[in-house]
Amino acid sequence: MQYEIVGTPFPAVVCTLQRGEQMKTEKGSMIWMDPCMSMETTGGGVGKMFGKLMSGESMFQNIYTAESDGIIAFGSSFPGQVLPIEIKPGQEFIAQKMAFLASEVSVDIAVHFSQKLGRGFFGGEGFIMQRLSGQGMVFLECDGSLVSYELAPGQEMVVDTGNVLGFTGNVAMDVERIKGVKNIAFGGEGMFNTRLTGPGTIYLQTMPLSTVADVIAAHMPVQS
């Protein structure tokens, strides 16, 4: 499989498949394809479907198979970027639950919980994430611009939970409450942050959809 990322501000990834190669998407993100591509919708069993529901995924996957050489494109749903990540055995990647766009079928997707479940339960977007493993290319949807940092062992970064796009599997994540009643009530930063601890690479997004929705909601007229 070869790919090219095209377009702005709504990017797409155009994948060139050889006969027999397969791609999967879980949000109905296919936007164009050659007629040689066949589609099959599958749930993957009750256990997997429940896990998908918990992680914020669709309960069903669309599997596209190339009956002959051709192209298929997957498009983002919000202005931003598409991040390609190569998954290798023993090198997992943890992604924000709504980030998955498409991948090769050899990439496995499972639920990933923050290490401290009690705190994470109240951390909104920082609680349930997706663990990507196996082998193959995966494409993630980034809201806004993409920024990455390489953290040294023990080095930490505190991030608003909605701005965490993902990180390599060796990065530790903890969702923590912002200290101080006044800070929570008047600081405008919500109640929780995510603390990421290296070693590893972290990927941050500058304009999460949840933040945009909050800004729009604040300017909507109040219905009488």
In a domain, 220, yes or no: no
Residue 69 lies in a domain: yes
Report how far apart, in Å, the C-alpha atoms of 95 and of each of 87, 130, 133, 142 are: 12, 5, 11, 10
Tokens matching residue 20: 């027999």
26 vs 155: CA distance, rounded Å: 34
Question: Amino acid identity, residue 23?
Answer: M
Distance of alpha carbon 157 from alpha carbon 17, whole angstroms: 39
Q: What is the pLDDT of residue 124?
A: 45
Please check whether residue 41 lies inside any domain of the structure: yes
Place of tokens 């980030």: 99
Cα–Cα distance, 18 to 12 (Å, whole number)? 19
d(CA 51, CA 55): 6
Closest to 87 (Cα-Cα) out of 150, 20, 132, 26? 132
CA separation for the pair 125, 202 (Å, rounded): 16
Left, alpha or beta for 134 (phi > 0: left; psi -120 to 50: alpha)? Answer: left
**pLDDT (0 to 100) of residue 208:** 80
Per-residue pLDDT, 221 = 74
Q: What is the CATH number of the domain that holds 59?
A: 3.60.160.10
Q: Do 200 and 170 touch, CB atoms closer than 8 A?
A: yes
Pairwise CA distance, residues 39 & 101, whole Å: 16
Domain total for the chain? Answer: 1
Cα–Cα distance for residue pair 138/151, rounded to 1 Å: 22
Question: What is the average pLDDT score of the chain?
Answer: 83
Residue among 43, 40, 44 nearest 64 (CA):
40
Let me know if residue 221 belongs to a domain. Answer: no
Q: In this predicted structure, what is the pLDDT of residue 52? A: 53
- Structural domain including 198 reads 2-214
Query: Do 13 and 2 meet the contact criterion of CB atoms below 8 Å apart?
Result: no
Which amino acid, 134?
G
Per-10-residue mean pLDDT of the chain, 224 residues long, equals 94 97 91 97 60 57 96 94 96 92 94 58 58 97 96 96 93 77 43 88 88 60 64
Nearest to 174 by CA among 142, 196, 198: 196
Whole-structure pTM value: 0.83
Cα gap 57→51, rounded to integer Å: 9
pLDDT of residue 190: 53
Token pair recorded at residue 80: 């931003």
